[in-house]
Structure 1
Amino acid sequence: MSEPLLFVYGTLRPGCDDPMARWLCNAARHVGRAAARGNLYRVGSYPGFVPGGPGEVTGDLFALADPESVLATLDDYEECAAHFPQPHEYRRERLIVRGEKGAVEAWTYIYDRDVAGLERIGRGDFLA
C-alpha cells in the first residue's frame, strides 16, 4: 500500500457518533479493522492507548491520500501540534499494527501521561 496509514482506536473509529469520526471517514479511505499490541485506558469519555505489554487493542486503519493535511487536522484535534502548550496528552508516532492483510506500519496517537488510577479497558475495544 503506497498511501501512509493511520490506526485509530477510539472516538475516531467508524461507528462512533463523533463529528471528527465522520470527518475522518470523508477525509481518508477506511481500509479495515486492525489490532495493536498494548493497552487501552479510559480517560474520561475517550480512550488512551499505551503500546507494548501483553494486551491487544482493536481499531481501524485508514489510508491517507493527503497525509499532511489530515495529520495536521488530527494533531490539532488531539492537541499535540507544536502550538499547544507542553506537556501534551498525546503524541503521534508510527508503530506496527496487524491489519487484515498482515503487519503494516501506521501512524497513531499514543497516550503520553501516567495511567495510574485510570481504568484499563480489558478487552481493548473502546466501541465494545
Structure 2
Amino acid sequence: MAHLLFIYGTLSQTDNPVAHLLQNRLRYLFKGKIKGVLYDTGDYPGLIPDDKGNWVYGSICELDDDALAIIDDYEGYGENQEQPNLYLRLMSAVQTESSIISAWIYVYNRSVDGFEKIQSGNYQEYLQQKKSP
C-alpha cells in the first residue's frame, strides 16, 4: 500500500543512515508545509502542531508499508518502542503549492520545555545557520 509522508527533519539529510537506507524506497513528490512549531531537541527536531500561524516546512514523499515500518522504528513509534513513544504518527493536512493533502506526520511526544524554537520552521535552513560563523 502506498502512503504519503511529510518529512521535515533528519530524514531530509543526505548523510542520515536511515534516509540513505530508504533512498530507493521513498519517492519525493513536492514541497509542503504544515501548521506547527519546530523545536531543536538536540540531535533532531521536534514538531508540535498548532494553529497560531506558525509553519513547518518540508517535503511530501510516497512510500510503502515496509518503508513506513522502518521509519516508525527510527522515530520511536509503535507498541514495541519505549512508552510513551518519542513520536506519534498522525494523519495531518499538508499545504502544497496547489492544494491541501492528507499525509502522515511524526509529532514530538515529549515536553519541549527548555528547547530552542526553530523560528523559521525550516530544519535544514536552521542547521545551515548554526554551521555559519
**TM-score, structure 2 normalization:** 0.86
Same amino acid, percent of matched pairs: 38
Who is 1:21 aligned against?
19
The gaps in structure 1 that reach 5 residues or longer are none
Match of 2:108 among 108, 111, 118: 111
The gaps in structure 2 that reach 5 residues or longer are 126-133
Give a deviation string over 1:67-121, Cα, whole Å, max 9, x none.
Answer: x211111111111121112111101011001123311000010001111111000
RMSD (Å) for aligned C-alpha atoms: 1.5
Bigger strand share: 1
Distance 2:90 2:71 in 1: 13
Who is 1:126 aligned against?
123
Who is 1:6 aligned against?
5
Bigger helix share: 2
Distance 2:22 2:9 in 1: 12
Who is 2:62 aligned against?
63
Query: Displacement of 1:54 after TM fit?
Result: 2.2
How many positions carry a matched residue from both structures?
124
One-letter amino acid matched to 1:92: R
> Equivalent residue of 1:40, what SS?
strand
Is the 1:34–1:59 contact (alpha carbons within 8 Å) kept by the matching residues of 2? yes
Distance 1:22 1:32 in 2: 19
Distance 1:123 1:26 in 2: 30
- Structure 1 residue ranges (4+ consecutive) displaced by more than 4 angstroms after TM superposition: none
Distance 1:99 1:76 in 2: 27
Who is 2:91 aligned against?
94
